[in-house]
Amino acid sequence: MKLKKKTFFKIHSWIGIRLSVLFFIVCFSGTLATLSHEMDWLFNPDARAEPQKELAPRNQIMANFGKEYPNAKMTFWMRTDEPYLCDILYKEEGNSKSYVFANPYTGEIQGEAQITFQRFFRDLHYFLFIPFQVGNYLVLVFGFLLLVSLVTALVFYKKWWRKLFELQTGKGPLVFFRSLHRLVGVWSVPFTLLFSITGIWYFLERADIADIGTNANPRAPVVKGLLNGGNKEALDPNDLDYDRAAKIAEAQRPNLKAGDMVPSREASGSIYITGKSDVPLVRQRANRVYLNPKTYEVMQTQKATEIGTVIFINDMADPLHFGNWGGLATKIIWFILGLGISSLILSGIWITLKRKAIKRKKSKQKVMGIWRYINWGVYGVMLFFMYYVIIDRYRVSTFAITIISLGWTVFAALAYYIFVYRLNKVAQKSIA
């Protein structure tokens, strides 16, 4: 039995040490993503809105958009669940893409950004900016690894349920941080399990295992009869009647509140509308309405109360994973718990490396070996594609690039200082 528990401990340590850099980036980026909308509110005054009783007509917002950007097209209309945030209109003008902040209460166009905190951290957590789905699967694999790490820890940590308030102090930093690591880990068990299960679900959806991806994401209906006179261009999204579309969508269900809107990008495409209803724990996409952009005829609907199990689970995964199902309060709770799980990775690395520092120094062996280069190699690839995306696609300002670069530099410098420089100092003092 002791050998079995020792084996589980080795597996737990292997995941935390060998995959430390990537593991931390995935967990910490997800933590920041939970409050990324609030970061936009905090750092960008253009994204803020003062809640009022009445919403401005959508057509008024689009008219203001057209006046401000006469040569641009709106490709996606995001109406967030947070009443203190502006609508975000995705703008395309030539080869340039950006985000326009529209006040949903006054209809005013308040500003524009090349990239938002929400988009940056969601992309980072979603696929590390690495293309061709390589980044997607690399991130999603950590759902399995997080579950394995949790299970192995519960096996070798005896009677963990009795140690919810046990924290050892006064016995040196190593004992303290080891005790703190276990304490935070025990309290994080339910949420670690939640994050790992939803992460595994995302993997099954993307890989379309058992047709989960196909069944969870039904295709939009094709509009017939829009190709008038051989015209193969989609109707101008700026000319659509969004108030009418929202009213028709909400009429499909009394409790539905129209949210995001996606105009067609193709001549045979429909207006795609999502919205919130009285069904808890599901995202807006659980309710869908597809309209003919020419006649505004309802082509297809999907109601959260009538969807199948696969679609319901799929539309419930995001609110549970990012904690936005209960508004700002649950997002803050998820953020704090995400920080706790991220700290488990850092404290686990520190505990293991410090314990092995003297042994490694004497034997000239390296704890991570080739995995050190794999971690930092993938980190380098991620940075390369990140800069490529933010410069080529988003065309962000020099100031934004400087801030992003500074953040990554601080991350690398702290990692080197804590886990290389300081631990080598500890080893040298112990040997002396």
Domain boundaries defined on the chain: 2-44+116-207+326-431
Residue 432 has pLDDT above 60, yes or no: no
Q: What is the pLDDT of residue 42?
A: 97
Separation of alpha carbons 41 and 53, rounded Å: 20
Torsion angle, alpha carbons of 45, 51, 55, 58, to 10: 20
Phi, psi of 75 (to 5 degrees): -110, -15
Which residues, at least 6 apart from 74, have a Cβ–Cβ distance to it below 8 Å? Answer: 62, 65, 89, 90, 91, 100, 237, 238, 263
Work out the number of other CB atoms within 10 angstroms of the CB of residue 328.
16
State whether residue 97 is helix, strand or coil. strand
pTM, two decimals, is 0.91
* Range in 28-37, 227-236, 262-271, 316-325 the model is least confident about: 227-236
Condensed to tens digits (0 to 9), the pLDDT of residues 123-175 reads 999 999 999 999 999 999 999 999 999 999 999 888 888 888 988 888 877 78
Instruction: Give the model's confidence band at 409: pLDDT under 50 very low, under 70 low, under 90 confident, else very high.
Output: very high
CA-based torsion, 75, 250, 281, 100: positive or negative? positive
Across residues 210-237, what is the average pLDDT?
77
Across residues 419-428, what is the average pLDDT?
67
- DSSP for residue 147: H
CA-based torsion, 229, 231, 234, 238: positive or negative? negative
Separation of alpha carbons 340 and 184, rounded Å: 6
Report the DSSP beta bridge partners of residue 77: 89, 261
Which residues, at least 6 apart from 297, have a Cβ–Cβ distance to it below 8 Å? Answer: 291
Residue 226 has pLDDT above 70, yes or no: no
Separation of alpha carbons 135 and 123, rounded Å: 10
Q: Tell me which amino acid residue 121 is.
A: F
Condensed to tens digits (0 to 9), the pLDDT of residues 321-378 reads 999 999 999 999 999 999 999 999 988 888 877 776 656 555 455 556 688 788 889 9
Tokens 């991806």 label which residue? Answer: 213
Separation of alpha carbons 71 and 48, rounded Å: 26
Report the DSSP beta bridge partners of residue 89: 77, 100
Q: What is the pLDDT of residue 305?
A: 92
Whether 430 contacts 364, CB under 8 Å: no
Tokens 């820890």 label which residue? Answer: 153
Q: What is the pLDDT of residue 227?
A: 47
Q: Tell me which amino acid residue 14 is.
A: W
Tokens of 299: 């082509």
**E strands present in 277-411:** 288-291, 298-302
Which residues, at least 6 apart from 193, have a Cβ–Cβ distance to it below 8 Å? Answer: 147, 150
Condensed to tens digits (0 to 9), the pLDDT of residues 231-255 reads 556 678 889 999 999 999 999 988 8
Calculate the average pLDDT of the chain. 90
Residue 120 has pLDDT above 60, yes or no: yes
